[in-house]
Structure 1
Amino acid sequence: VQYPAFPTVGQYFVLTAFVIVVLGGLGSLPGAVVGSLFIGLIDSLAGFYVGPDMKEIVYFVIFLAVLVVRPTGLFGLGRGSE
């Protein structure tokens, strides 16, 4: 059985994983877990309230808002003492 392969096959999943890791904080395993739970919850609620075609926009807007407030993510380590 042959299936076509396209360069953009896993693009959505890679982008979602990137958002989860950065949102939780780079280098923080608990942050990645909390980030995945947060994005999963937002994904489900946004799919219900605004529709499945707009749910990615909702969590990307929330992702950008969190990065404006906390650039290191929710559980990310700061730059350290200098």
Structure 2
Amino acid sequence: MNQSILFNDDVSVESQPSTLCFSAMVNGMMVQCRIETPPMGKEEALAHFKAKQFDYEMLAEQLIEDEDFQSDGSVLLSFL
């Protein structure tokens, strides 16, 4: 695991479009990580994230290392 990337414990759910969001600190800079999800309730989305959190963090770490950023500076992860 890359020591210059630290994941925060701040997962949230946005409803339009259905998106899970969490953040990472990368060399002192905040990077938003987004996962577009199929329509699901907030509790279901949070439970899904908790069950797959490690996998999502690994995907986000790879996108950050590859500098695969969206135009707004975030990284967009595939739904698992």
Q: With the length of structure 1 as denominator, give the TM-score of the two structures.
A: 0.34
* Greater relative CO (CA pairs within 8 A, separation 6+): 1
Larger C-alpha radius of gyration, 1 or 2?
A: 1
